[in-house]
C-alpha cells in the first residue's frame, strides 16, 4: 500500500461524535449569517451589476462551504442540524445535502420537519429517495408522501416487496406491524449448523441488529430461534433442531408498540419475531425501532402533561398559538375558578390579612404532592403495572404515604406560620389545611390518569392542568374554610 493510499484511508476514517454535529451547526449558522448580510447589502445596491456578480459568486462559495460541512456528517447528525434551524435556513442547507443521503435523513428526522422537506422536493427527487428504502421504511414515510410518488415507487418493487409494503401500510400507526422489519434470516430445523453457516456466508450482509436466526417449517410457521452465539460455539455437525431455543418470545402485528418496548426492556431483547394468527413468521422487531418508540413516547408524555403537541420550535407564531392556546385557556378558566373560591372568603381574609400570604403555600404544596403521585402512576401505567385489582390498594397506599409526609412537613409549615403571625391557632389551621390539601393532591394524582385511561384517553394529556385546578380550588377552600370556622 502506498503512502498516498494510507493517507486517503486515514482521512476517510472518522469517529462518530455528537459534538461534531454541534460544531458543524455553529459553523453553518456562521455561514448562513454571512450570507444574510450579503443579501442585505445586495438589496441596497440592486443597480450595480458588478456588485450583483460578486453577490452570486459569494453565494456559490457559501454553498460550497455548506456542502463540505453537511455531507461529511452522519445522516442522523444532518437530521439534528436541520431540526435546529429555522425553516428558511433549513431549506438552504437541505438543498446542499447530497442525494445519496436523502433517504436516510428523511427516515432519521422528526415528523414535523420531514413534512416541510418533502414539500420542497419534486416528484423525481422523492421517487429517487424512496427507491433506496426498504418496504417497511417506505411505509414509515407513506403518510407524508404524495400518492403519485407511492404509486411510482411500487412499480419498482418486486411482488414480495409490494406485498410487504401494502401489509405494512395497513397496520395501525402505534402497532408492532408498523415498526417491524421484513428483513430476517430463516432456516429449517432439519439441517446442520454447518449448512446454516455456509448459508450465512453467502449473504452479502446480515440484516441490522441480527442476534438470532428464526427456525421455520415449510409453511413458514415459527418453530424456534437459534442465537448466533449458539451457532458459533456449537458443534457444526449438530442439527438445528437439537440446539434451537423453543422457549422464545414473539409478538403479534396488532400488539401495541409499547408492549414490544416493555418486553424488550424486561427480557433484554435485541430482536423479536412477529407472527400472524396462523403462527407464520412475517417479520421481526429490531432494537433500534424499540428505542425510537421509547424516545417518542417519552417526548409525547412530557408534552402531553402540559397539554401540548409536538411542534416545530421555529414554526410561525400563529402555528404555535394553535398548539398552545387551548389548554392555556382551560388553565385560565380553572385559575378563575380557584380565584372565585377564594373570593367567597373575603370577610375572613379582611379580618385576618396574614391568611392571604399563607394560602398560596397550601395550594402549592398540594400541587407538588399531587405531581409526585401522578408521575409515579403514569409511569406505572405505561409499564402495565396497574390493573383494576390493585388500583384501590394503590390509592390507600398513596394516601398513607402522603399523610405521613404531610404530617412531618406540616410541622415546619406550622412553625413558619407561627413565626410570621405569632398565633398558635393560625399555625394549627395551616397545619391541618396543608395535610388535607396534600391528601387531595395525592388522590387526584391517582384518579385523574386512571379515569382518563379508563375512558380511552391519554392519561398524560393535560393532567397537570387538571391537577392544579383541583389542588388550588380545594386548597383555598380547605384553608379558608378552616380559618372561617376556627379563627373568627
Residue 239 near residue 250 (C-beta atoms within 8 A): no
- pLDDT at position 156: 86
pLDDT of residue 271: 96
- Which residues does residue 225 pair with via DSSP β-bridges, in sequence order? 214, 245
Q: Each residue of 440-450: pLDDT tens digit?
A: 999 999 888 88
Region 398-404 average pLDDT: 90
Confidence at residue 5, expressed as pLDDT on a 0 to 100 scale: 36
Inform me whether the pLDDT recorded for 424 exceeds 70: yes
The backbone region for 209, taken as left when phi is positive above 0, alpha when psi lies in -120 to 50, beta otherwise, is left
Whether 57 has a pLDDT exceeding 50, the answer reads yes
What kind and span of H or E run contains 275? Answer: strand 271-275
Cα atoms in the 13 Å half-sphere on the side-chain side of 337:
16
Residue 132: in which H helix or E strand, if any? none
Residue 312 has pLDDT above 70, yes or no: no
Average the pLDDT over 139-152 and give the result.
Answer: 89
Give the number of other Cβ atoms within 10 Å of residue 132's Cβ: 14
pLDDT at residue 3 in the model: 39
For residues 72-80, average pLDDT: 92
- In the CATH scheme, what is the code of domain 20-42+51-169? 1.25.60
Which CATH class name applies to 317-487? mainly alpha
pLDDT over 60 at 13, yes or no: no
Structure letter (DSSP) for residue 206: P
Share of the chain above pLDDT 90, in %: 46
Distance CA 72, CA 81 (A): 13
pLDDT category at 405 given cuts 50, 70, 90 is very high
> Which of 463, 388, 484, 405 lies closest to 439 in space, CA to CA?
405
Average of per-residue pLDDT across 279-293: 94
Task: Give the chain's length.
Answer: 488
Structural contact between residues 282 and 176, judged by C-beta atoms closer than 8 angstroms: no
Fold for 186-287, please state it: CBS-domain (3.10.580)
Confidence at residue 11, expressed as pLDDT on a 0 to 100 scale = 41
pLDDT bracket for residue 1 (50, 70, 90)? very low
Task: Give 44's pLDDT tier (boundaries 50, 70, 90).
Answer: low
User: Residue 225 is placed in which grid cell?
Assistant: 430461534
Question: Is 71 a residue whose pLDDT tops 80?
Answer: yes
User: Percent of the chain beyond pLDDT 70?
Assistant: 91
280 pLDDT exceeds 80? Answer: yes
Q: What value, to the nearest 5°, has the Cα angle with vertex 77 and ends 71 and 81?
A: 90
The better pLDDT of the pair 462, 261 is held by: 261
Residue-level pLDDT at 380 = 82
The structural domains of the chain, with segments of one domain joined by +, span 20-42+51-169, 186-287, 317-487
Residue range 132-145: average pLDDT? 88
pLDDT of residue 311 exceeding 70: no
Mean pLDDT of the chain: 86
Q: Could you give phi then psi for residue 392, rounded to 5 degrees?
A: -75, -40
Using the predicted structure, report yes or no on whether residue 14 has a pLDDT greater than 60.
no
What confidence tier does 7 reach under pLDDT thresholds 50, 70, 90?
very low
Asked whether the predicted pLDDT for residue 188 surpasses 90, the reply is yes
Q: Is 195's pLDDT higher than 70?
A: yes
pLDDT of residue 299: 76
More confident residue, 8 or 56: 56
Beta bridge partners of 368: none
The per-residue pLDDT for 4 is 38
Q: Report whether 450 contacts 460 (CB < 8 A).
A: no
**What's the rounded mean pLDDT across residues 115-127?**
90
Model confidence band, residue 307 (pLDDT cutoffs 50, 70, 90): low
For range 230-255, the mean pLDDT: 95
Q: Mean of the pLDDT values across residues 242-260?
A: 94
Amino acid at each position: 500500500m502506498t503512502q498516498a493510499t494510507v493517507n486517503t484511508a486515514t482521512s476517510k476514517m472518522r469517529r462518530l461524535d455528537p459534538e461534531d454535529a454541534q460544531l458543524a451547526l455553529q459553523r453553518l449558522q456562521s455561514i448562513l449569517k454571512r450570507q444574510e448580510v450579503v443579501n442585505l447589502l445586495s438589496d441596497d445596491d440592486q443597480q450595480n451589476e458588478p456588485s450583483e456578480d460578486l453577490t452570486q459568486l459569494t453565494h456559490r462559495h457559501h454553498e460550497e462551504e455548506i456542502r463540505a460541512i453537511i455531507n461529511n456528517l452522519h445522516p442522523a447528525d444532518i437530521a439534528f442540524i436541520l431540526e435546529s434551524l429555522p425553516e428558511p435556513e433549513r431549506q438552504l442547507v437541505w438543498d446542499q445535502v447530497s442525494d445519496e443521503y436523502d433517504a436516510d435523513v428523511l427516515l432519521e428526522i422528526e415528523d414535523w420537519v420531514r413534512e416541510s422537506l418533502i414539500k420542497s422536493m419534486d416528484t423525481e427527487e422523492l421517487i429517487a429517495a424512496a427507491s433506496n428504502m426498504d418496504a417497511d421504511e417506505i411505509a414509515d414515510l407513506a403518510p407524508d408522501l404524495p400518492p403519485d410518488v407511492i404509486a411510482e415507487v411500487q412499480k419498482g418493487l418486486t411482488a414480495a416487496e409490494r406485498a410487504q409494503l401494502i401489509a405494512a401500510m395497513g397496520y395501525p400507526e402505534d402497532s408492532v406491524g408498523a415498526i417491524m422489519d421484513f428483513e430476517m434470516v430463516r432456516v429449517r430445523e432439519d439441517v446442520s449448523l454447518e449448512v446454516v453457516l455456509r448459508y450465512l456466508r453467502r449473504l452479502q450482509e446480515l440484516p441490522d441488529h441480527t442476534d438470532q436466526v428464526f427456525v421455520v417449517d415449510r409453511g413458514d410457521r415459527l418453530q424456534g430461534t437459534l442465537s448466533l452465539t449458539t451457532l458459533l460455539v456449537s458443534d457444526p455437525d449438530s442439527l438445528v433442531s437439537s440446539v434451537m431455543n423453543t422457549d422464545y418470545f414473539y409478538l403479534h402485528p396488532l400488539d401495541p408498540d409499547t408492549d414490544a418496548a416493555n418486553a424488550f426492556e424486561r427480557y433484554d431483547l435485541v430482536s423479536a419475531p412477529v407472527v400472524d394468527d396462523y403462527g407464520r413468521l412475517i417479520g421481526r422487531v429490531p432494537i433500534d425501532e424499540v428505542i425510537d418508540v421509547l424516545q417518542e413516547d417519552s417526548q409525547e408524555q412530557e408534552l402531553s402533561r402540559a397539554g401540548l403537541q409536538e411542534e416545530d420550535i421555529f414554526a410561525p407564531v400563529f402555528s404555535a398559538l394553535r398548539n398552545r392556546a387551548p389548554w392555556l385557556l382551560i388553565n385560565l378558566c380553572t385559575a378563575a375558578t380557584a380565584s372565585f373560591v377564594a373570593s367567597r372568603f373575603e370577610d375572613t381574609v379582611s379580618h385576618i390579612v396574614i391568611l392571604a400570604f399563607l394560602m398560596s403555600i397550601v395550594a402549592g404544596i398540594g400541587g407538588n404532592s399531587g405531581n409526585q403521585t401522578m408521575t409515579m402512576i403514569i409511569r406505572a401505567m405505561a409499564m402495565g403495572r396497574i390493573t383494576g385489582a390493585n388500583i384501590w390498594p394503590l390509592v390507600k397506599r398513596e394516601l398513607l404515604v402522603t399523610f405521613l409526609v404531610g404530617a412531618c412537613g406540616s410541622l415546619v409549615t406550622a412553625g413558619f406560620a407561627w413565626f410570621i403571625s405569632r398565633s398558635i391557632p393560625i399555625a394549627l389551621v395551616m397545619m391541618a389545611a396543608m395535610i388535607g390539601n396534600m391528601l387531595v393532591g395525592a388522590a387526584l394524582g391517582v384518579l385523574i390518569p386512571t379515569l382518563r385511561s379508563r375512558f380511552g384517553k391519554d392519561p398524560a394529556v393535560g393532567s397537570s392542568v387538571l391537577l392544579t385546578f383541583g389542588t388550588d380550588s380545594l386548597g383555598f377552600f380547605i384553608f379558608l374554610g378552616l380559618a372561617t370556622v376556627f379563627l373568627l
